[in-house]
Amino acid sequence: MIQLSKLRKEFGDLIAVNDLDLMIPQGEIYGLIGPNGAGKTTSIRMTCGLLAPTQGCVRVNDVDVLGEPERAQQYIGYLSDFFSVYEDLKVWEYLDYFARAYKMSQPEIAQRIEEVIAQVGLEVKRDTLIHGLSRGMKQRLGIARAIIHQPKVLLLDEPASGLDPKARLELRELLRSMRDQGATILISSHILTELEGFCTSIGIMEKGRLVRTGRIEEVTAEETPTRIVRLRWVGDSAESVRRILAERLELSNISLDGNGGSFHFVGSDDLLAQVLATLVSANVRVTSFGEIKQTVEDLYMKLSQHEVM
């Protein structure tokens, strides 16, 4: 669980994060999105104790990060966007170093290293010097480092930069499996497709403030009460379709073209099912009928004012 209360950070006379309140329950994958300069990285750095807030409080797993940094660190795994690794160590030595640094017990270190190496797919590179690894492999090693001590909270700042598409998919799977094991994940990114179908909640940050936060379905429902439905059919039923749709008050913006079209709909799923049933009963041979889901990108474009100073 991550809890940020009235978190504020000033750099000189600039406010980077402005009284941020955020609560991420256990098991959530929370996507923090926003333009460059919105305060995402500063927020994450304060959450993992790298930066002392000007004021406010950060609690991770009910431990005050500022008050008990050492205790808090055992629950936190952190990965930043641009990072480096110790090139003169072997892969296993690098992970062993961090396992020791997180004060894991000696007997569990060896087993955990093998587990983590397997999780990030670096088995064949176990005894290779890091110097000889590719950029993507180093990124995987960074992820392995972040999870070596089985943290309850993962803070990832642009974690997928440098990963190839396959590795990105693997990263998603890895994070999902960590969530299933009860980990809470805060992930920041400005590549919105990275977060699609993966985050359970999102927060949109601008000018140091959270302009919107919540579970994706809730935010979507709040922001887009009007749902867009697309349909297709076969045969010469365009006029029937237009007539049926036009008769229904809950529909608007009806746009038909040949054997397909779309309309805006406000109402419950039951009402939507009735629309489909009416079309079918009027002998319209419907081949597809479905709602166009709002992507995170659509939401962001809708909610964000794209303001930086």
Partner 1 sequence: MLLFWSNPEFVRHRRAELRRGRAFTVAAVVLVLCVLIGLAAWASAANELEMAQIRSARFGRPTQAQLFEMQQRLPSEALQLFYRSLMYTQAGILAFWSLFSCAQAVSGERERKTWDFQRTTRLRPADLMLGKLLGEPVLAYFIVLCCLPIAAISGLAAKIGLLHVLSAYLLIVSSALFIGLAGLWLSSLFESRSRGVGLIGTAGLFAFLALSFNFRVSELPGLAGFSPLAGLPQLVEPSGSATALPTLFGAQIPWLLMSLLLYMAFGAWIALMLGRNLKKDYEEMRPLSRWQAVGCAAFLNFLLYALFHPHPWSPPDSHSFTTFIVIMNGLIILAVGVATLAPHERLRIWWCKRGAHEATLLSEDGPPWPWLVLSAVVAYALLIWGLFAWRRVLGFETSSLSGGAIQMAAVLIFVTRDVLFLQWCRLTRLRAPLIKGALYLCLYYIASLVFTFVFSVRSEWDGRIVYSLLTPAGALDGRSYGVHFPVGVFGGMSLQLIVVGVLVTLIIRRLKRPPLTAAVVGD
Among 42, 184, 220, 237, binds partner 1 (CB under 8 A): 42
Which 11-30 residues touch partner 1, going by CB under 8 A? 11-18
The token pair that represents 182 in the structure block: 């009860």
Give whichever of 9 and 212 is closer to partner 1, judged by the CB atom. Answer: 9
Helix axes 165-180, 135-147, angle to 10 degrees: 10
Shortest Å, Cβ 173 to partner 1:
24
Position 45 contacts partner 1 (CB under 8 A): yes
Give whichever of 159 and 208 is closer to partner 1, judged by the CB atom. Answer: 208
Position 184 contacts partner 1 (CB under 8 A): no
Position 211 contacts partner 1 (CB under 8 A): no
Give whichever of 40 and 227 is closer to partner 1, judged by the CB atom. Answer: 40
Whole-Å CA distances, 143 to 4, 119, 251 = 24, 10, 48
The owner of tokens 């305060």 is: 39
Strands 285-292 and 227-234: antiparallel
Rounded distance, CA 69 to CA 72, Å?
5
Position 49 contacts partner 1 (CB under 8 A): yes
Among 62, 182, 269, 309, binds partner 1 (CB under 8 A): 309
Among 28, 208, 227, 245, binds partner 1 (CB under 8 A): 208
Give whichever of 78 and 300 is closer to partner 1, judged by the CB atom. Answer: 78
Shortest Å, Cβ 169 to partner 1:
25
Are the CB atoms for 40 and 157 separated by under 8 Å? yes
- What's the distance, CA 93 to chain centroid? 31
Give whichever of 107 and 165 is closer to partner 1, judged by the CB atom. Answer: 107
Whole-Å CA distances, 253 to 165, 243, 248, 249, 250 = 38, 14, 12, 11, 10
Whole-Å CA distances, 161 to 27, 44, 140, 193, 285 = 24, 17, 11, 13, 46
Give whichever of 142 and 261 is closer to partner 1, judged by the CB atom. Answer: 142
For partner 1, which stretch binds (CB under 8 A), given 36-44, 118-126, 193-201, 284-292?
36-44
Binding track over 101-130 against partner 1, x by CB under 8 A: xxx---------------------------
Position 47 contacts partner 1 (CB under 8 A): no
Give whichever of 85 and 256 is closer to partner 1, judged by the CB atom. Answer: 85
Binding track over 53-92 against partner 1, x by CB under 8 A: -xx-------------xx--xx-x-x-x-xxxxx-xx---
User: Closest by alpha carbon to 191, among 209, 168, 225, 219?
Assistant: 168
By the criterion CB under 8 A, which residues form the site for partner 1?
A: 9-18, 36-42, 45, 48-52, 54-55, 69-70, 73-74, 76, 78, 80, 82-86, 88-89, 93, 96-98, 100-103, 145, 207-208, 307-309
